């Protein structure tokens, strides 16, 4: 049996509940590209604690609904077919990642980057990226504790994903 590594997959949504009796599910998207990721005919992989290997799913239908995506999968025509997978993570393989514009990054590329100030002081590493609204906020943990850096031009001066290094300007009030 060929075991797929969860590290070579990236989350695009969480299966939070069923929707009706015809096998539809309510998915909370965790992608900036829900129209592409949940398009009819696309393949996703379901990771769930009850599965020894990810389950390959093909999207049969999709429609946006409030903050969710209502999705059905081929071969799952009834609520009883899919209900046992509530709480599962829907993921795509690494080779399905989309090309991003310049100055756009996937969260997994940023996590682990060392952050230094424009004066040369090492602040720590990026451990998370929050998306509260207007702009992303990068969570940096280091000697000074936790620092929240807004992803804005005045603060983030240089991002070098290849060398896992970010240069920032500490604006007044950030510490």
List, in sequence order, every residue forming a beta bridge with 125; answer none if it has no partner.
Answer: 114, 141
CATH 3.40.50.1820 fits 107-168, yes or no: no
Q: Is CATH 3.40.140.80 the classification given to domain 7-96?
A: no
* Domains 7-96 and 107-168 in one fold: no
For the chain, what are the domain ranges? 7-96, 107-168
DSSP strand E in the chain: where?
Answer: 9-19, 24-29, 43-47, 55-65, 68-73, 89-93, 114-117, 122-130, 137-142, 145-150, 156-160, 165-168
How far, in Å, CA of 10 to CA of 68, rounded?
19
- Residue 132 neighbours by CB under 8 Å, 6+ apart: none
Q: For 72-114, how does the pLDDT look when each residue is reduced to its tens digit (9 = 90+)?
A: 999 999 999 999 999 999 999 988 887 878 878 888 889 999 9
pLDDT digits (tens, 9 = 90+) for 122-170: 999 999 988 877 888 999 999 889 999 999 999 999 999 999 999 999 8
């Amino acid at each position: 049996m060929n075991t797929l590594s969860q590290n070579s997959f990236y989350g695009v949504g969480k299966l939070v509940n069923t929707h009706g009796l015809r096998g539809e599910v309510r998915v909370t998207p965790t992608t900036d590209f829900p129209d592409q990721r949940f398009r009819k005919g696309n393949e996703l992989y379901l990771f769930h604690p009850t599965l020894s290997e990810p389950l390959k799913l093909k999207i049969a239908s999709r429609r946006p609904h409030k903050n969710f995506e209502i999705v059905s999968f081929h071969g799952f025509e009834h609520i009883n077919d899919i209900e046992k997978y509530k709480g599962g993570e829907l993921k795509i393989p690494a080779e399905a990642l989309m090309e991003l514009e310049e100055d756009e990054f996937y969260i997994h590329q940023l996590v682990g980057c060392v952050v230094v100030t424009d004066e040369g002081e090492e602040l720590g590493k990026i451990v998370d990226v929050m998306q509260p609204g207007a702009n992303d906020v990068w969570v940096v943990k280091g000697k000074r504790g936790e620092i929240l850096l807004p992803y804005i031009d005045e603060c983030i001066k240089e991002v070098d994903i290849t060398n896992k290094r970010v240069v920032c300007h500490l604006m007044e009030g950030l510490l």
